[in-house]
């Protein structure tokens, strides 16, 4: 459970882009459990564990205007969380796959921020983006993912400065090795798992709920003087 008050987001409107599975679904559920009115967007199947109170919208972050049409139907927005992301191990060494990953992970994040800016400015709201530990070092098989997540870090810092006049805070989380569908292949490989846990001081895979708790903190009043920050949620992986 989170240490935040159970009612901390009562009266707050939350939009989780890429919230139909994995980390995004956990984030959406966590906001709902703390009183938020939550909408999520995504492409394809919806996670079975997504709270039934959450409104789900089909939206592709690579299609200009797709998110804007959803935001335009909203009367209020207090929190935008960007969780949409893909990874194509090995394929990203080819320019076409590289460009696709960057379009979803980085440009898609910018599209969402731009679409939500006006509503967030009205409420003095905030944005939480999803970076990665791969924002800080390269990945031999995932140059597109690494480049896009490095870009998310710089985008977060830039928008924190650019949106400050609108009273919009912009931060990010940087998940480490988290048990999600994106890491299933690695989780099933005992040698890879041993290497990962051997370097992780806390000695375990992270869970989507671990990331969700960090997102809630950054979106809460407890973080009202924090902007432009990227918070690793990695069990200490980046510390060694």
Q: 3-state DSSP call for residue 30?
A: helix
Running DSSP on this structure, what letter comes out for residue 206? B
Taking CA 79 as the corner, what is the angle to CA 77 and CA 80, rounded to the nearest 5 degrees? 100
Indicate which residue of 136, 145, 163, 237 is catalytic: 145
Give a three-class secondary structure readout of 49-84.
Answer: CCCCCCEEEECCCCCCCHHHHHHCCCCCCCEEEECC
Q: Which long-range contacts (CB under 8 A, 24 or more apart) does 133-137 make?
A: 133/174, 133/175, 133/176, 133/177, 133/232, 133/234, 133/237, 133/238, 135/174, 135/230, 136/174, 136/238
Q: Is 136 labeled as catalytic in the residue annotation?
A: no
* Catalytic positions, written as ranges: 145
């Amino acid at each position: 459970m989170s240490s935040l008050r159970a009612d901390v987001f009562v009266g707050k409107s939350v939009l989780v882009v890429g919230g139909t599975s994995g980390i995004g679904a956990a984030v959406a559920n966590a906001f709902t459990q703390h009183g938020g009115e939550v909408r999520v967007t995504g492409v394809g199947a919806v996670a079975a564990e997504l709270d039934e109170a959450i409104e789900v919208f089909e939206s592709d972050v690579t299609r200009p205007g797709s998110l804007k049409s959803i935001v335009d139907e909203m009367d209020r927005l207090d929190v935008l969380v960007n969780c949409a992301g893909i990874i194509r191990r090995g394929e990203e060494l080819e320019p076409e796959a590289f460009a696709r990953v960057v379009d979803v992970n980085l440009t898609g994040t910018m599209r969402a921020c731009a679409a939500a800016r006006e509503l967030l400015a009205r409420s003095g709201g905030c944005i939480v983006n999803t970076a990665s530990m791969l924002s800080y070092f390269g990945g031999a098989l995932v140059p597109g993912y690494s480049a896009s997540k490095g870009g998310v870090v710089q985008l977060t810092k830039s928008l924190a400065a650019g949106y400050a006049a609108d009273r919009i805070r912009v931060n990010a989380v940087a998940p480490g090795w988290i048990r999600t569908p994106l890491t299933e292949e690695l989780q099933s490989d005992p040698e890879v798992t041993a290497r990962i846990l051997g370097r992780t001081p806390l000695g375990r895979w992270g869970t989507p709920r671990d990331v969700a708790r960090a997102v809630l903190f950054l979106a809460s009043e407890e973080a009202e003087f924090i902007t432009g920050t990227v918070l690793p949620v990695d069990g200490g992986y980046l510390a060694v």
